[in-house]
């Protein structure tokens, strides 16, 4: 894991993460189609927000997740899933085992090019790779200003912002396309406030900084709330690519 290992700190808030982070929008099903009978690998699956979505599309799911707390929530929620401890750079599965792989909101934590090589190794020829982020629409001013509050300008380990996956130049993947879907997430003021406690930028704040952030978040959320509810503009975006044919 890069970025000071912060990707592994989410386990401390695993239950909150599962309760408050956004699930995929229904529109995301258009990206995957019918997955009935398809073997799908989810890397860094967290608590299983996307796992449950893909199960509903008919997928036969295998997940790899390094954090024990996050994985235990996923296993409790989705007991039928094949669940493995592991990381993207060293996947504990066989070569050419899957018809599709998904990485959601985790690509930025991976060491490259090791993770790209490993995912290419375990995908069958012609299989799809989905690298997706599901988050706040930063082109809406009030949303952009709200998300800035969770960040620390002095944090040198903050992950770079970028929504397209660089899959390298070795030709492991072809037909690389970037996708974007806008949607609306309706949350209560309290639920929206709670979401901010699950982001990595919040983990590194001091207690005083977190209290100050919460106060300012509350003030700004109340400015846009209607009857205690907020319509949050969201964007699902990322990269979809096809595993190229191996040369035997």
pLDDT tens for each residue of 154-212: 544 444 456 788 998 899 999 999 999 999 999 999 999 888 877 766 666 788 888 88
Write the pLDDT tens digit of every residue in 11-33: 457 888 788 889 999 999 999 99
Task: Provide the pLDDT for residue 196.
Answer: 81
Q: Say what angle helices 141-148 and 207-224 make with each other, to 10 degrees.
A: 170
Task: Provide the pLDDT for residue 207.
Answer: 83
Average pLDDT value for residue range 209-238: 93
Q: How far apart are CA 61 and CA 104, in angstroms?
A: 15
pLDDT tier, 247 (very low <50, low <70, confident <90, very high otherwise): confident
Domains of the chain: 3-136+160-184+235-243 (3.40.50.150)
C-beta separation of 172 from 180 below 8 A: no
Burial (0-12, 13-18, 19+ Cβ within 10 Å), 22: middle
DSSP, collapsed to helix, strand or coil, labels residue 100 as strand
Percent of the chain topping pLDDT 90: 70
Q: How far apart are CA 246 and CA 248, in angstroms?
A: 6
Q: Which of 170, 174, 169 is nearest to 243 (CA)?
A: 174
Write the pLDDT tens digit of every residue in 29-48: 999 999 999 999 999 999 99
Model pTM?
Answer: 0.86
Task: Provide the pLDDT for residue 162.
Answer: 62
Q: How far apart are CA 67 and CA 75, in angstroms?
A: 12
Nearest 5°: CA angle at 200, between 209 and 68? 130
């Amino acid at each position: 894991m890069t970025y000071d290992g912060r990707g592994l700190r989410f386990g401390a808030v695993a239950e909150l993460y599962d309760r408050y982070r956004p699930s995929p929008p229904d529109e995301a099903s258009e990206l995957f189609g019918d997955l009935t009978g398809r073997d799908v690998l989810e890397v860094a699956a967290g608590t299983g927000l996307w796992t449950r979505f893909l199960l509903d599309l008919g997928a036969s799911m295998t997940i790899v997740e390094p954090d024990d707390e996050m994985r235990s929530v996923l296993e409790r929620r989705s007991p039928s899933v094949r669940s493995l401890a592991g990381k993207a750079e060293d996947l504990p599965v066989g070569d050419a085992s899957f018809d599709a792989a998904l990485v959601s909101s985790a690509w930025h934590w991976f060491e490259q090019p090791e993770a790209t090589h490993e995912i290419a190794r375990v995908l069958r020829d012609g299989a799809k790779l989905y690298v997706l982020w599901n988050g706040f629409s930063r082109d809406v001013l009030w949303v952009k200003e709200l998300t800035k509050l969770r960040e620390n300008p002095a944090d040198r380990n903050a992950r770079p912002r970028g929504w397209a996956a660089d899959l390298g130049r070795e030709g492991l993947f072809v037909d690389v396309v970037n996708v974007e879907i806008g949607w609306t997430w309706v949350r209560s003021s309290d639920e929206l406030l709670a979401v901010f406690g699950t982001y990595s930028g919040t983990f590194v704040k001091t207690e005083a900084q977190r209290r100050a952030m919460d106060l300012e978040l509350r003030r700004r959320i109340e400015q846009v709330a209607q009857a205690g509810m907020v319509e949050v503009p969201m964007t699902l975006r990322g990269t979809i690519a096809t595993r190229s044919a191996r040369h035997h």
